């Protein structure tokens, strides 16, 4: 409550009996001016606005290199070069960064389901708890007629969307469990739930202090910008990024630029930084442990497992017809060993969240290409690259820690080190 007041939200109240407490069972902070938008309609409107002003949008044109300067350049994987006054890398997590950003944000897999509920049985609010892992709920129309506009039209009832049960990408004891836990939680708190109609999952980038990184890419030319670290608030952060980055590119100051500055290292986030750094460093230990299976024969149809082959580790998937598909298990980003996600049937990297399909093709960065083929001679230096990545990670974590320590010392000398020191 005090934090909300400090942020200027004067109308937030602590409600002992809110419209949703009977489902969650506790007092609530109530934010009265909530809004709900249809994300697809919002995006369609943005596309129309860009095109109206003469902009052109090229999908399916992955970029492999970005360089600042005059002009800045983006080079696509097909070899085309786009020259511009400035480049904004808004690829969810930046592919053009080694550790300046990836050392300060972590990829989390988050789960969601949509369950049918009778109309008016649940109040139309967005509500979330403070558990770890957290849960949130919201309501939308259950539009079943084919071709009906999303969010409108004749509707049979309502869909309760429930999300949460996040875990670090690539790090779960059993990838099937979060969905089961989410459904049990839903049924325990919302007994009016009928069938679960949809389930899905995705990734969110959690920063060390909860706010997005929007601004100049640290350590890069001044006309290369990033927008990342949405922490599950991509609609809000994306809108802020549009406003803030326009000002920065046009040379105007913006009151939010320090708040979202990608180069920031808040002192209060030092424990989180250390925790995440240690977690990532520990993932590299996988290289010296055994595989999930001792031989390819143990991998069941429809499943995948890491199998040791000499000094190398292989990501092995057996398809439903019994054919074996093997790739090298080293993530092409910075050399971690990928994990088999038995629910999504994907290979997920536990270090910075890259994801690959069951055959090893790239789904989501920061990696820029799929897992190397077993006979790919160019991937032979995996041990050297993994070792250099660990060293790189250690050096950067140490330099971040040193920078924080230095700032703490300076603040103590100036007598400023209090809870508000940043």
Ligand X SMILES: Cc1cc2nc3c(=O)[nH]c(=O)nc-3n(C[C@H](O)[C@H](O)[C@H](O)COP(=O)(O)OP(=O)(O)OC[C@H]3O[C@@H](n4cnc5c(N)ncnc54)[C@H](O)[C@@H]3O)c2cc1C
Nearest to 86 by CA among 271, 195, 225: 225
Among 45, 202, 290, 381, contact with ligand X (rule: CB under 6 A)? 202
In degrees and rounded to multiples of 5, residue 411 shows phi and psi of: -65, -40
| Residue 242 CB-density burial (10 A; 0-12 exposed, 13-18 middle, 19+ buried) | middle
Q: Does 349 bind ligand FES (CB under 6 A)?
A: yes
Q: Please tell me the distance from the alpha carbon of residue 3 to that of residue 201, in angstroms, as a whole number.
A: 31
Q: How many Cα neighbours within 13 Å face the side chain of 180? A: 5
Examine residue 91 and tell whether it contacts ligand X (CB under 6 A): yes
Which residues, listed in sequence order, are joined to residue 17 by a DSSP beta bridge? none
Asked if 351 touches ligand FES (CB under 6 A), the answer is: yes
Q: Which of 242, 246, 183 is nearest to 212 (CA)?
A: 242
In the bound state with ligand X, the residue whose beta carbon lies nearer, of 161 and 263, is 161
Does residue 239 belong to the site contacting ligand X (CB under 6 A)? no
Q: Does 113 bind ligand FES (CB under 6 A)?
A: no
Tokens of 105: 């944000």
Confirm or reject binding of residue 352 to ligand FES (CB under 6 A). yes
Residues of this chain, 239-268, that bind ligand FES according to CB under 6 A: none
Q: Is 105 in the site for ligand X (CB under 6 A)?
A: no
Query: Based on CB atoms, which residue is closest to ligand FES, 227 or 334?
Result: 334
Distance, CA of 407 to CA of 253 (rounded, Å): 25
Q: Judged by CB under 6 A, does residue 232 bind ligand X? A: yes
d(CA 416, CA 422): 10
The piece of 203-211, 288-296, 306-314, 350-358 that touches ligand FES (CB under 6 A) is 350-358
CA gap 169, 94 in Å, rounded:
16
Of 238 and 353, which CB lies nearer to ligand FES in the complex structure?
353
* Contact window for ligand X (CB under 6 A) among 79-87, 140-148, 197-205, 345-353: 197-205
Contacted by 127, from ligand X, ligand FES, none: CB < 5 to 8 Å by type: none
The reply to whether 163 sits near ligand X by the rule CB under 6 A is yes
**Residue 367 within binding range of ligand FES, rule CB under 6 A:** yes
Q: Is 266 in the site for ligand X (CB under 6 A)?
A: no
Q: Which of 20, 366, 372, 382 binds ligand FES (CB under 6 A)?
A: 366
Task: Rank residues 141 and 230 by Cβ distance to ligand X and give the closer one.
Answer: 230
What is d(CA 64, CA 332) in angstroms, rounded to the nearest whole number?
13
Q: Between 288 and 327, how does the x/- string for binding to ligand FES read (CB under 6 A)? A: ----------------------------------------
Among 177, 233, 325, 396, binds ligand X (CB under 6 A): 233
By CB under 6 A, tell whether 112 contacts ligand X.
yes
Q: Cα torsion at 87, 91, 93, 95 (round to 10°)?
A: -60
Nearer to ligand FES, 74 or 330 (CB): 330
Give every CB contact of residue 25 below 8 A, 6+ residues apart in sequence: none
Rg of the chain over Cα atoms, rounded to whole angstroms, equals: 23
Q: How far is the CB of 232 from ligand X (least distance, A)?
A: 5
Distance between CA 284 and CA 303 in Å, rounded?
23
The answer to the question of residue 354 lying near ligand FES (CB under 6 A) is: yes
Tokens 């995996």 — which residue? 382
* Cis preceding-peptide flag for 273 (omega within 30 of 0): no
Q: What part of residues 19-78 is at the interface with ligand X (CB under 6 A)?
A: 62-63
331: contact with ligand FES by CB under 6 A: yes
CA 62 vs. chain centroid, Å, equals: 19
Q: Site for ligand X (CB under 6 A): which residue of 20, 87, 95, 341? A: 95
- Nearest approach in angstroms of CB 396 to ligand FES is 13
Distance linking the first and last C-alpha atoms of the chain = 21
Give the C-alpha separation, 188 to 192, whole Å: 10
Integer Cα distance of 182 and 370 in angstroms: 31
Comparing CA positions, the residue from 387, 395, 385 lying closest to residue 285 is 387
Of the candidate spans 200-208, 250-258, 387-395, 399-407, the one that interacts with ligand X by CB under 6 A turns out to be 200-208
Which residue stretch of 88-96, 293-301, 326-334, 375-383 sits at the interface with ligand X (rule: CB under 6 A)? Answer: 88-96
Among 94, 164, 178, 234, binds ligand X (CB under 6 A): 234
Burial of 99 (0-12, 13-18, 19+ CB in 10 A): buried
Interface residues toward ligand X, by CB under 6 A: 62-63, 90-92, 95, 110, 112, 163, 202-204, 230, 232-236, 238, 365
Where does this chain bind ligand FES (CB under 6 A)?
A: 331, 333-336, 349, 351-354, 366-367
């Amino acid at each position: 409550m005090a934090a909300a007041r400090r942020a200027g939200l004067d109308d937030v109240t602590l409600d002992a009996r809110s419209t949703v407490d009977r489902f969650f069972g506790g007092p609530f902070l109530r934010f009265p001016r909530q809004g709900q938008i249809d994300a697809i309609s919002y995006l369609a409107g943005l596309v129309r606005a860009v095109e109206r002003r003469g902009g052109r949008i090229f999908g399916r044109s992955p970029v492999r290199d970005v360089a600042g300067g005059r002009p800045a350049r983006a080079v696509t994987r097909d070899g085309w070069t786009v020259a511009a006054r400035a480049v904004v890398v808004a690829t969810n997590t930046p592919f053009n960064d080694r550790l300046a950003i990836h050392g300060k944000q972590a990829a989390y897999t988050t789960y969601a389901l949509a369950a049918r509920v009778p109309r008016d049985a649940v109040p139309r609010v967005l509500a979330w708890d403070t558990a770890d892992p957290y849960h949130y709920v919201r309501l939308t129309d259950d539009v079943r007629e084919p071709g009906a506009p999303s969010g409108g039209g004749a509707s049979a009832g309502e869909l309760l969307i429930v999300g949460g049960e996040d875990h670090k990408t690539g790090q779960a004891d059993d990838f099937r469990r979060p969905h089961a836990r989410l459904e049990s939680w839903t049924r325990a708190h919302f007994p009016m739930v009928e069938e679960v109609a949809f389930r899905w999952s995705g990734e969110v980038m959690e920063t060390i202090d909860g706010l997005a990184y929007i601004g100049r890419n640290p350590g890069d030319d001044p006309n290369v910008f990033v927008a990342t670290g949405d922490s599950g608030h991509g609609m809000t952060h994306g809108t802020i990024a549009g406003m803030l980055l326009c000002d920065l590119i046009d040379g105007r100051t913006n009151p939010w630029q320090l708040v979202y500055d990608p180069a920031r290292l808040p002192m209060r986030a030092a424990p989180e930084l250390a925790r995440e750094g240690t977690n990532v460093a520990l993932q590299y230990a996988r290289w010296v442990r055994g595989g999930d299976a001792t031989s390819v024969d143990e991998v069941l149809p429809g499943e995948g497992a890491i199998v040791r082959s000499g000094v190398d580790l292989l990501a092995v998937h057996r398809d439903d017809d019994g054919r074996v598909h093997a790739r090298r298990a080293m993530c092409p980003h910075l050399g971690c060993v990928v994990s088999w996600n038995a629910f999504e049937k994907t290979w997920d990297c536990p270090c910075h969240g890259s994801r690959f399909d069951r055959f090893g093709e790239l789904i989501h960065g920061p990696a820029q290409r799929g897992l190397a083929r077993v006979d790919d001679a160019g991937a032979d230096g995996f041990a050297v690259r993994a070792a250099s990545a660990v060293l790189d990670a250690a050096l950067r974590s140490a330099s971040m820690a040193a920078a924080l320590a230095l700032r703490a010392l300076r603040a103590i000398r100036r007598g400023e080190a209090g809870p508000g020191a940043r």
